């Protein structure tokens, strides 16, 4: 690659990115379970190693942590469904509250425009067929998505077991891609990648737990209905950087509106979510995750959007750990170091347009991406 012109090198890099993206789009149903299984396998490695240290048979040492994951997911699913059941049981009251809100909205529209309640009703009836057709299409799509989810979940334990069982083969495969003098760097990158993934995923599990308890508990203290359901929905959606928090706020507001005819609970929910999110972003999560890899907000948002476009919800959740792993690899590869800089959160201390030293790949003075000038 060194003897090739710079334009050819960059063209090959961009072509490689396009091909990788096309591969993810075409085979996302195959690739995403494998990536998810890889991340979970990394998280289960400490349990596996601890069991093997005490001479536990290898098969049992692999199956036991997988069973722990299944039990944990089952507890979350049971808790979520029980809260949804409580919401369904309140459906008559919800219907009454929604009717009241729609009446108030209709009166407000009549006051600020020339549309009477009768005209508004005719407009709604006119559009109802379109909405029903759209709902039918969404329902058929949801059925396909649900079936793919069952396939996804069913394959995960198998992939996790095989990855833990054949981990030495996978490691040998990785080392054989590089020359012997580069093996120490490869080993360092593997250890750092393992550490990043473990810290990230364990941190997310802890975050889901304390966000649900903290947010749900505070909302219960303020007398908000469906407080725990709002807490767990926001905690799970908050795992999606930037976008998830916005969706979580919207769902929290909608659940609160359906449970009350007053706007005071809505303001309370937004205020509590803002306070808990500030505490989470600035105090709790940085201490829990403690990752040395910093991803800038632009790449994080693009990663979530692209991941969602390629692989749906699973792509949005996996975008950040994938980007973090890629940054570790790029930072240690001379030919791809510029991509590591692009992904990072540390800005040059001075403008590269004015100071030539900041145009180089070598070590330069950097500042945090969140620091103000």
HEC profile of 269-323 = HHHHHHHHHHHHHHHHHHHHHCCCCCECHHHHHHHHHHHHHHHHHHHHHHHHHHH
92: its two tokens: 């008559």
CA dihedral over 152, 238, 328, 45, signed as positive or negative? negative
17: its two tokens: 């990115």
Q: How many Cβ atoms are within 10 Å of 338's Cβ, its own excluded?
A: 12
pLDDT, residue 139, reads 43
pLDDT, residue 13, reads 76
- Run of H or E including 366: strand 366-368
State the 10-residue block means of pLDDT for the chain, 373 residues long. 68 80 77 85 88 89 90 82 73 66 65 65 58 48 50 79 90 88 85 80 80 86 82 82 79 77 78 84 66 72 81 77 81 78 76 69 61 42
pLDDT, residue 340, reads 80
User: Which residues, in sequence order, are CB contacts of 81 under 8 Å at separation 6+?
Assistant: none
Distance CA 32, CA 248 (A): 24
Token pair 């309140």: residue:
90
272: its two tokens: 């509590």
- Phi-psi region at 367: left, alpha or beta (left = phi > 0; alpha = psi -120 to 50): beta
Q: Which CA distances in Å does 134 have to 30, 127, 254, 325?
A: 28, 11, 21, 39
Q: Which of 208, 241, 234 is nearest to 219 (CA)?
A: 234
Distance CA 213, CA 232 (A): 8
Judged by DSSP in three states, 240 sits in: coil
Distance CA 86, CA 92 (A): 12
């Amino acid at each position: 690659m060194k003897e090739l012109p710079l334009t050819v090198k960059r063209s090959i890099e961009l072509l490689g990115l396009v091909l990788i993206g096309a591969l993810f789009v075409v085979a996302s149903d195959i690739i995403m379970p494998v990536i998810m299984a890889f991340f979970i396998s990394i998280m289960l490695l400490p349990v596996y190693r601890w069991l093997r240290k005490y001479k536990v048979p290898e098969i049992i040492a692999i199956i036991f942590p997988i069973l722990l994951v299944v039990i944990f997911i089952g507890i979350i699913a049971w808790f979520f469904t029980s809260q949804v059941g409580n919401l369904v049981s309140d459906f008559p009251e919800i219907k009454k509250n929604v009717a009241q809100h729609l009446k108030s909205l209709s009166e407000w529209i009549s006051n600020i425009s020339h549309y009477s309640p009768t005209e508004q009703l005719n407009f709604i009836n006119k559009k109802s067929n379109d909405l029903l057709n759209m709902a039918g299409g969404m329902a058929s799509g949801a059925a396909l998505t649900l079936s793919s989810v069952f396939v996804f979940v069913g394959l995960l334990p198998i992939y996790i077991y095989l990855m833990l069982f054949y981990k030495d083969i996978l490691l040998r495969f990785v080392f054989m891609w590089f020359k012997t003098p580069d093996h120490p760097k490869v080993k360092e990158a593997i250890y750092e990648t393992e550490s990043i993934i473990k810290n990230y995923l364990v941190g997310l599990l802890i975050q889901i737990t304390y966000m649900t308890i903290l947010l749900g508990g505070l909302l219960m203290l303020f007398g908000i209905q469906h407080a725990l359901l709002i807490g767990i929905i926001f905690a799970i959606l908050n795992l999606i950087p930037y976008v998830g928090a916005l969706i979580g706020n919207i769902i929290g507001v909608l659940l609160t509106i359906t449970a009350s005819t007053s706007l005071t609970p809505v303001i309370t929910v937004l205020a509590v979510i803002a306070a808990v999110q500030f505490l989470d972003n600035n105090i709790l999560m940085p201490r829990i995750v403690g990752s040395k890899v910093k991803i800038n907000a632009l790449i994080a948002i693009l990663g979530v959007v692209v991941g969602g476009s390629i692989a749906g919800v699973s792509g949005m959740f996996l975008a950040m750990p994938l980007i973090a792993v890629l940054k570790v690899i790029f930072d240690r590869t001379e030919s791809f170091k510029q991509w590591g800089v692009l992904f990072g959160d540390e800005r040059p201390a001075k403008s590269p347009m004015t100071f030539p030293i900041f145009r180089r790949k070598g070590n330069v003075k950097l500042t945090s991406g969140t620091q103000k000038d």
